[in-house]
Amino acid sequence: MLNMDISMALVRVTEAAAIQSANLMGRGDKMAADQAAVDGMEKAFGLMPVRGTVVIGEGELDEAPMLYIGQKVGIGEDNMPEMDIAVDPLDGTILIAKGLPNAIAVVAMGPKGSLLHAPDMYMKKIVVGPGAKGAIDIKKSPKENMINVAKALNKDITELTIIVQERERHDYIVDAAREVGARVKLFGEGDVAAALACGFEETGVDMLMGIGGAPEGVIAAAAIKCMGGEMQAQLVAHSEEEIERCKKMGIDDIHKIFGIDDLAKSDDVFFAATGITECDLLKGVIYSKNEVATTHSVVMSSKTGTIRFVEAIHDLNKSKIVVE
């Protein structure tokens, strides 16, 4: 029952962030939307039956007043488990500001010491779902990885879909996909949602490659582990300051290739996400009259292998987790 209690409490955390943030969809103010998500999520954490510590959050204590790295969250009673918490209350701030798809609220959680304390810097990533587990190697070229993943999935290379963030730094990946005949799906922001799509056949996405945020990479790794997929990653440092920051956070080898068990070390991790705007996997928040909102979420546990899709109807006049 403990896993069920934690899972459902965790999804209420992402629901709260999504409801608050979605209220500002398309209003052009990404900072206000992000703050609304943080406010909703932080209040909802007060109902979590854990002794949690934020290890990936909105920044250091001097940078963020809420959900900062090191902040204690949860009910916090002595008989409750100690947990690492990684949060992104709004993955896709530009998306929500413009009313574009793929903005989500996400949380990953595992036993104390289980989640990599990733610095706020870039990370090279390659992600596949369970069908292609064992077929990727971040040291190999994009072309080799695409061919190997297609073989593992028993697909013709022309049936393979690669999801790539639309950035100049990823032109070589797009060029490789076009050379071998693979399909390419580009996205602008929100690489947690993009990684999540790799784990579900109904999204039509087979593989993610590219460079994105390291904190988001750890959160995505928790989801991929719950789904039985595979992820490899490598930090990309652009300055001596970033290298020193890695060392301070316990990462001595800046060139280390991280596997899924390095990013999320426990076999008992949790992940939850709620759609804020329409996503490949989840519907966005839908508001109806009389202060009612409908949310669509996914919550996962690696220990049980359970993946639950949760549709919830919220009476915002009665909700205890919505910030006034």
Which positions make up the binding site for Mn(2+)?
34, 58, 88, 91, 216
Binding-site residue set: 34, 58, 88, 91, 216
Instruction: Collect all residues with Cβ–Cβ distance below 8 Å to 293 and sequence separation of at least 6.
Output: 19, 22, 285, 286, 287, 313, 314, 316
Residue 34: closest CA among 66, 70, 73 = 66
CB 280, CB 205: distance < 8 Å? yes
CA distances from 234 to 125, 214, 266, 300, 315 (A): 7, 9, 20, 25, 44
Q: Contact, 44 vs 16, CB < 8 A?
A: yes
| CA separation, residue 135 to residues 130, 149, 226, 296, 314 (Å) | 10, 6, 18, 32, 42
User: Which secondary-structure segment (H or E) carries 123?
Assistant: strand 122-128
- Nearest-5° angle of CA 272, CA 301, CA 191? 40
Q: What is the DSSP string of 171-234?
A: HHHHHHHHHHT-EEEEESS-HHHHHHHTT-GGGT--EEEEEEEHHHHHHHHHHHHHHT-EEEEE
Please give the structure tokens belonging to residue 4. Answer: 């069920």
Q: Which of 187, 245, 188, 236 is nearest to 214 (CA)?
A: 236
Q: What's CA 241's distance to the chain center, in Å?
A: 26
* Cβ atoms of 25 and 277 closer than 8 Å: yes
